[in-house]
Structure formats: structure tokens, C-alpha cells
Amino acid sequence: MLHIINGDAFGDKLRASGIDGDILVWRESLYEGPICMQMSDSVLLPIRAAYMNRRHGIPEMLFSTAAREQEEALDNLSTNVREVVLWFEHDLYDQLMLNYLLSRMYAMPSRAFQLFLLNIGEFPGIDLFYGLGQLTVDQIRSLHHKWEPVQEDQLRLAYKVWTAYSASEPLPLASLIEEDLSLFPFLKKALQANYDRYPSKLNGLNAIQQLILTLLAEAEVSILQLFHQISKSISGYGLGDLQFWSIIEDLRQCEFPLVQLIGGGHLPRYGDPLPPGFENWRVGLTEWGILVLGCERDHLFLNGIDDWIGGVHLLGKEGIWRQNTATTGFLRM
């Protein structure tokens, strides 16, 4: 038996639980950077490694090696295991990973192993469930054999989702949101969260950026407090600290900064310890931030964008795919 999971902390607890089987921790953040149908694609991998290095400081060789190793482990599933159990959560981060893995398994020419899924969004006694890493070893042990067989129509849907997510324009995914996605109970909400990652036609901010500026409208806020507030308000994203620091830096290091960092120079990158006194660092709005928040200026017209949402490259100051707030569709501005 092989358990495929997201998160080393959960992996350690799963090992300690005594549940039989080997563990493969999937460490690829499919929430970020350029995407294609198969993540081991030889053209994509160096581009993606360079993106992760630029955005988070992850060494390119380290990233590429880890990505190849886990993809090779996936390719060799049919010869090495008889049962595979996927452990995943409700948020966008996990739902994208789950659909990618299932789409890869759907496309395998021979799939001799049995495939099972444990996909949860809550746990008894936990008021605000973020993920499996919150659980104790005993709580994890209680989930033994609670997983269910993955059906062929679930595999087909996952392949369809991943095809739409990796497309070079957002329209296939917009159409998919309107379909019946109940085979995966958390998928529709996760895809809505992905839609909210696109800039608004009102001021060029996506939903997370809008919330950050809104929380800063009254006063400066501690960077750690801001991270906890955002994480609690939008738990459906599965946002990690590295991802959050990079979002703040995008708003801070652009041509017309929307936020300012008080008390420190730059936010931590991959492998960096938290700087001394980090708990006292604060974030505040700039004058430009106030204007954009009030929809008197447009963030993209001011600062442009160079980023990816799945297979969609958002690049430049104009002609960018944005949310059409009147519908769940998109328009270019």
C-alpha cells in the first residue's frame, strides 16, 4: 500500500499512527507558476524551476530534482504497489493537487493497482479545520480504512478539470464551474476560489489583495497578525506563509507600491529563518493603496502583472484576463 499525501508534518504523524503502507509526500505547489498537463514536461520544468526560484528563492536544482523524483514515483506506481490511498483536504491547494494526481492516473496505459480516496473538510471536535496536519496521531488512526474507492467517472472528471486548469485561457474553467461537480464535494468551491484569483475589473486587485488592503484601511497591522487574519478569512485557499509573503512583496515592490513594510527590509524566502523582531514588523497602506482600494486607480494599469494562474499567463498592463463581476465569466481589459 502507498499513501500519497500533502505535507511533511502530516506525513510524520501518519508514520507514527501505525497505519500500514509507504508514504509519498507530494511537495509541488500547483497553485503557483506555469502549469501543463504533465508536470514532468521537459520544456515546462526549467521554466517552472526558474519561477519558483524568482518568487520564493527555492534553488532551481533542488526544485527540479524533487519534481522529477516524485513524477518518476508516480510513473512507477503500477509496478510497485497494489493499493494507493490519496489523503487530501477541501482547500484549493489540495484540490488542484488531487485533480492533477487523478488525471495522471486516468491517463496511465495500465493501472493494476486499486485506488482509494480520503477527502475531508472537517473533523469532529475541530471548529476551524484547516487540514490533516492539525490532527493528532490518535485522530489520524481513527481514519484508518475510512477511505473510499475512486470511481472511473471521478477519474474522468479530474482529467477534465486538470485539462481546463492547464489551458492557456480561463474560459474552459469558467464553463466547468457551471457543471455538476458533486463527485468531488469540495471542488466547486475550490474552483470558485481559483476564479477569485483573477484581477477584478473594478480596480485590478484579486480577492486576496482586496482583502489585504481592506484590512489595512483603518490602521497598520502586524505582518504575522495580517497573515493569521487572511488565513482564517480565506481558509479555502490553503495559503502558506511563503505564498503570503510573496503576495505582500508583489504589492510592495511594484512601480507604484500599494503597501509599505515598517520595521524590516524584506520578507523571508525559502529556507530563511524569521528575522529578529519579526513579530513587530507591520504593514500599512500607501497613498496609492488608498486610491486603488477606493477604485480611483487601477492596480494593473499602474503596475502591470507577470504571473500565472494555471496555464494562463497574465502579462502586461492591458488586455489582461479579469473577473467579469457581473457573471462568473471573464473579460479582457
> How many structural domains are present in the chain?
2
* Average pLDDT of every residue of the chain: 94
Taking alpha carbons only, the member of 84, 99, 88, 95 closest to residue 157 is 99
Which of left, alpha, beta for 254 (phi over 0: left; psi -120 to 50: alpha)?
beta
> Domain check: are 162 and 223 in the same one?
no
> Domain check: are 185 and 211 in the same one?
no
> Domain check: are 72 and 131 in the same one?
yes
Confidence tier at 77 by pLDDT (50, 70, 90): confident
Strand partners, 221: 283
Cα-based torsion angle of the residue sequence 37, 183, 171, 95 in order, rounded to the nearest 10 degrees: -60
187: three-class secondary structure by DSSP = helix
Q: What is the DSSP string of 91-147?
A: SHHHHHHHHHHHHHHHT-S---SEEEEEEES-BTTBSS---GGGS-HHHHHTTTT--
AA identity, residue 302? L
Alpha carbons 205 and 286: distance in angstroms, whole number: 15
> Domain check: are 230 and 160 in the same one?
no
Q: How big is the chain, counted in residues?
A: 333
DSSP 274: P
Confidence tier at 202 by pLDDT (50, 70, 90): very high
Domain hosting 51: range is 2-194
> Domain check: are 270 and 309 in the same one?
yes
AA identity, residue 290? I
Alpha carbons 98 and 101: distance in angstroms, whole number: 5
More confident residue, 111 or 48: 48
> Domain check: are 7 and 145 in the same one?
yes
Q: For residues 269 and 241, is the Cβ–Cβ distance under 8 A?
A: no
CB atoms within 10 A of CB 176: 18
Residues 79-116: tens digit of each pLDDT: 778 999 999 999 999 999 999 999 999 998 888 899 99
Q: Which of 173, 194, 215 is the last residue of a domain?
A: 194
Which residue intervals of the chain are DSSP H helices? 8-17, 44-56, 60-75, 77-80, 92-106, 137-141, 152-165, 171-177, 187-195, 207-215, 223-233, 241-252, 287-293, 299-303
Q: For residues 263 and 277, is the Cβ–Cβ distance under 8 A?
A: yes
> Domain check: are 17 and 160 in the same one?
yes
Residues 211-236: tens digit of each pLDDT: 999 999 989 999 999 999 999 888 88
Joined together, the cell numbers standing for residue 218 give: 483603518
> Domain check: are 122 and 238 in the same one?
no
> What mean pLDDT is predicted for residues 58-86?
92
Q: What's this model's pTM, rounded to 2 decimal places?
A: 0.95
Q: How far is CA 7 from the centre of its chain?
A: 13
Strand partners, 25: 5
Give the range among 21-30, 35-44, 73-82, 200-209 with minimum mean pLDDT.
73-82
> Domain check: are 165 and 210 in the same one?
no
Predicted local distance difference test score (pLDDT) of residue 191: 95
> Domain check: are 19 and 156 in the same one?
yes
26: three-class secondary structure by DSSP = coil
Q: How far is CA 33 from the centre of its chain?
A: 10
Q: Which of 194, 209, 231 is the last residue of a domain?
A: 194
Residues 257-310: tens digit of each pLDDT: 999 999 988 999 999 999 999 999 999 999 999 999 999 999 999 999 999 999
Predicted local distance difference test score (pLDDT) of residue 260: 97
* Percent of the chain residues topping a pLDDT of 90: 86
Joined together, the cell numbers standing for residue 123 give: 473533523
Joined together, the cell numbers standing for residue 283 give: 504593514
Predicted local distance difference test score (pLDDT) of residue 141: 96
Joined together, the cell numbers standing for residue 125 give: 471536535
Confidence tier at 318 by pLDDT (50, 70, 90): very high
> What mean pLDDT is predicted for residues 22-28?
93
> Domain check: are 162 and 13 in the same one?
yes
Residues 135-169: tens digit of each pLDDT: 999 999 999 999 999 999 999 999 999 999 999 99
Q: Which of 161, 178, 194 is the last residue of a domain?
A: 194
> Domain check: are 124 and 211 in the same one?
no
pLDDT at 324 over 90: no
pLDDT at 127 over 90: no
Q: What does each C-alpha distance from 315 to 259, 308, 309 come to in angstroms?
A: 21, 9, 11
Here the CATH number for the domain that contains residue 81 is 3.40.50
Alpha carbons 267 and 138: distance in angstroms, whole number: 36
Alpha carbons 200 and 299: distance in angstroms, whole number: 10
